[in-house]
Structure formats: C-alpha cells, structure tokens
Amino acid sequence: MRILIMDSGRGIRGEKVALWRERLGLEPDDDVALLSWYPPAEPLPVVAHLVAGPALHLGREPRRVPTLAEAGLLPGDALSDAAAAVAAGADARDADDPWAGAADGDGSGEMYGDEISEQYAEPDSLAIIDADVEDELAEQDTLAQSAETEAAAAMESAARVAHLPKQHPQRLAHGVRWRTNRVRLQVRGGYRRGRARARAAHRRGAQWPSQALRSLLRLRGSGIANEFALSVSRSRAAAEIFAGADVVVPVDDLSSRSAWILARRVEGPDVVVTFHAAARRIAQVRLRAQ
C-alpha cells in the first residue's frame, strides 16, 4: 500500500516518520512518500520525498531530496529491490512512477550535504546578491573618501581659527560652516544609501515576481498554508506523486489546504485529515484489497 504524508513542519527526522507509521498502523511492506514544505533535518526512511518550500517560487517544481530507501539503507521486502539496484550501481528511478524515484546521483546519500545546498542556491539570486553587495561597497567607499577629505579640510580650517577668541567672526563663521557641512553629509549619505536600496529592490522585483505575492499571502494570514497550496497546485510532480497514493494524510492544519487543492485536481486517492480516521481508512483499503 502507498501512503502519501503531507507536512509543513520544520526539521523532520526519522523518528517522526516512525511515529507516523505507528499511528497509522502501517505494515513493514507499506510504502510511505512525503510531500513537505521545509527540507528535512536528515535523509528520511521514505520511498520518495518532495520539498515544495521553504519559499514560494512561481514556475519551479518541488525539489526531490535523497531518502534512505533510495540509498538502500533500510531493511524490509519493500526496499529489497531498491537496495539491490543501488548495490549493482543501477538507477532505481522509474520515469513513469514517481514513487520509485531516486536522487540525482548514485543513490549513496553523499549528495545530501553538497548538492542539496546547490539546489537551494539559485544562480540568478546569487548574481543579484553579488551586485547588491558591490553597489553597497562602492557607495560606502565613496562616502568614506568624501568624509576623509572633508574631515581633513575641516581640521585645517579649525587649526587656523583655534587661537582666535570664541566670539571672533572668523571662528563663528567656521562653526556655522562645520555644522552645515555635517548636515549636508548626513543628508547626502542617506540619499545615496536609499538610492542603492531602491535599485537593488527594483532588480529583485524584476527577477522575483513572486515576492509581492508572498507578501500578499502573508497579509491575508496563514502564509505558509497559502504558499504551500499554491506551490503544489501548479506542480506536475506533486500531482503525480499524489495520484500514485492509495491514501493521503495531511498531518497538520497548514498542509490540509494543499491536500484539498490536490484532491480537486487529481482523482483517485482518499484524503483523510486525522490519524485515527486515516488508520481506519487504511485498514478498510487493505481489507478490500484482500
């Protein structure tokens, strides 16, 4: 039996997957796949794992992360074929069945630290960040040079009038010029920093049109639930793994909306929103299959 679990929590570990299996009354040969919003804290004992978040990016499919099943590290009949394929150096991925998926690589799980971080790092976003940093550094260098030059000139002027009485016209004029210059530097520095931030925001807006949508969803409340639902509603991979399940179990309130959206798009699996009801439905499906 194939069970799809949907979760929006952070830092999922293998212990939580084991607890889910226990509460659902699953047998050792039952396959569990996971569709989550956040990446896991470690490779999980599931047959497939898609991560739709942790930020909404329009037009991007959920990322497939390595699992222990794909690496052949789990005992049991359900994983024996995958373990044999990994041992033989074969590719365990079936293009027509997302539940038989394997990670991009040799399935050894070594890519979990390096290649996953590369998946999260988008080249366009890194280029934008580099350009923003360069602009900010250039602005800071210009301001620092201007401040040093004018500070030196101010010190020379102050030295010329230091011996004069406090009420001397030249000393009073120097004080007025010094205060005026300080205000001018503060205003000019704030203007330049604001202009640099505006240019950076404009570039980010051109490259990331989903940023405004994310802000709007957060203003309406339940931002993660809305972003999760919107992400899976546009995803072909999420629809395929959803269609291949016998029972779908959203384990928290924030993922229930995503399950409801997919249930309207894809016919077939039963969607049950509580563990008790899901365990009862799984038992019914198992009995009917016999």
Q: What is the model's pLDDT at position 216?
A: 59
Amino acid at 170: Q
How far is Cα 210 from Cα 260, in angstroms, rounded to an integer? 23
> Is the N-terminal amide bond of 54 cis, ω within 30° of 0?
yes
| Residue 232 contacts residue 249 (beta carbons within 8 Å) | no
Q: What is the model's pLDDT at position 247?
A: 94
> Cβ neighbours of residue 70 under 8 Å, at least 6 residues apart?
47, 48, 82, 86, 92, 101, 102, 103, 107, 109
Q: What totals of helices (H) and strands (E) does the chain contain, helices first?
A: 10, 6
How far is Cα 270 from Cα 79, in angstroms, rounded to an integer? 24
Q: Tens of pLDDT along the chain (290 residues)?
A: 899 999 998 989 999 999 999 999 999 999 999 999 999 999 999 999 999 988 877 778 899 999 988 777 664 444 344 334 434 443 444 455 667 654 343 333 333 333 333 333 444 444 444 555 555 556 656 666 666 676 666 666 666 667 777 778 887 887 888 788 888 877 877 777 777 777 776 665 555 555 666 665 555 556 788 888 888 888 899 999 999 999 999 999 889 989 998 998 888 889 998 999 999 999 999 998 87
Q: What is the model's pLDDT at position 49?
A: 95
Q: What is the model's pLDDT at position 189?
A: 77
Q: What is the model's pLDDT at position 172?
A: 81
Give the helix/strand (H/E) hosting 151.
helix 123-161
Q: What is the model's pLDDT at position 69?
A: 84
